[in-house]
Amino acid sequence: MKTNPAARNSQLINSNSGSSLDILADQYLNYLVFEKGLSEKTIESYSRDLVRYLEFLGSKGVKHISDADTPLILKHLIALRNAGLGPKSCARHLVTLRGFYRFLVHEKVLEYDPAKLVDLPKSGLKLPDVLSISEVNLLLNIPDTKTPLGKRNAAMIELLYAAGLRVSELVNLNFLNVNLEACFVRVLGKGSKERVVPIGVYAKDKIDDYIKNARPLILKNNISRYLFVARAGKPMTRQGFWKLLKHYAQQSGINKKITPHSLRHSFASHLLEGGADLRTVQVMLGHVDISTTQIYTHVAREHLKQMHEKFHPRG
């Protein structure tokens, strides 16, 4: 029998079973499962972070969440760093605590949020690898569209950038969830959250060409519910797509590490640079928490800084 995620996660926080801290943590995890619909993997990550935080509070004699203030949260983060946790892991841990405290304020358990005053460590906000628009154009023009597989690969890479999809969302995209007439795709993201993302005319044209002139040849006599098919109508694996993208990246001569996530990062950064608001980008990326999307504002700010230095008379 498959274990209920909430039940399994409640078992993770049982070092001081029955305490108010444990109960609040369980309530928060249940909220993430049933209200936010986060994946089991994400919930487990949040659980581990909360377990560690509750153990720290216990070691300091804290029995009620209202007794944990901002300095204590900072001490906890320092303790994590001293224990060997890297900046990125510490930053992720703080994101967990921020979400936990926001929940407690929303539920009126606390009047104020002590984690709100704690900044994410700058070294923990690693800027994602982002391609310039000219580099993206170069990469998108590499596949040989004279062959069926080339048409498929060109459509896949174009869609990855056009819609900012995760590689798992791309390879598992259902044929019936693509609306070329309206220019959008319906995507099933993390935690089975569905979202609709526009794709633009370039992706539309390449997908249309692939569907009409390549997909039937690749399928032969097979049928498949997947848009992008490989042998015997099966979907391409994530590893298979990574391999072909790596091949095209090498052919392009771009001197950057290019992964499927590089195109997702580039999608978000180019939208922000073009003037899109953060909330819109959050919805298109399928981020539950806008704090996850905020990392891209650092990329956009760098772009604005460069433009200021280049064009302002006193830049």
Q: What domains are there in the chain, each with its CATH number?
A: 5-119 (1.10.150.130), 133-309 (1.10.443.10)
Give the active site residues: 166, 190, 261, 264, 287, 296
Burial label, 263 (beta-carbon count in 10 A; 0-12, 13-18, 19+) = buried
Per-residue pLDDT of the chain (315 residues; tens, 9 = 90+): 333 444 433 333 333 333 588 899 999 999 888 887 778 888 998 999 999 999 999 998 998 998 888 888 888 888 888 888 887 788 888 889 999 999 999 999 999 888 887 776 555 445 556 898 999 999 999 999 999 999 999 999 999 999 999 999 999 999 999 999 999 999 887 767 788 899 989 999 999 999 999 999 999 989 999 999 998 899 999 999 999 999 999 999 998 889 888 898 888 888 877 877 777 888 888 876 656 666 665 555 555 556 556 665 554
Long-range contacts of 6-15 (CB under 8 A, 24+ apart): 6/30, 6/33, 6/34, 8/40, 9/33, 9/43, 9/44, 9/47, 12/44, 12/47, 12/48, 12/51, 13/47, 13/50, 13/51, 13/54, 15/51, 15/54, 15/55, 15/58
Predicted confidence at residue 78, as pLDDT, reads 82
What pLDDT does residue 307 have? 56
SS3 annotation, the chain: CCCCHHHHHHHHCCCCCCCHHHHHHHHHHHHHHHCCCCCHHHHHHHHHHHHHHHHHHHHCCCCCHHHCCHHHHHHHHHHHHHCCCCHHHHHHHHHHHHHHHHHHHHCCCCCCCHHHHCCCCHHHCCCCCCCCHHHHHHHHCCCCCCCHHHHHHHHHHHHHHHHCCCHHHHHCCEHHHEECCCCEEEEECHHHCEEEEECHHHHHHHHHHHHHHCHHHHHCCCCCCECCECHHHCECCHHHHHHHHHHHHHHHCCCCCCCHHHHHHHHHHHHHHCCCCHHHHHHHHCCCCHHHHCHHHHHHHHHHHHHHHHHCCCC
Task: Enter the pTM of the model.
Answer: 0.59
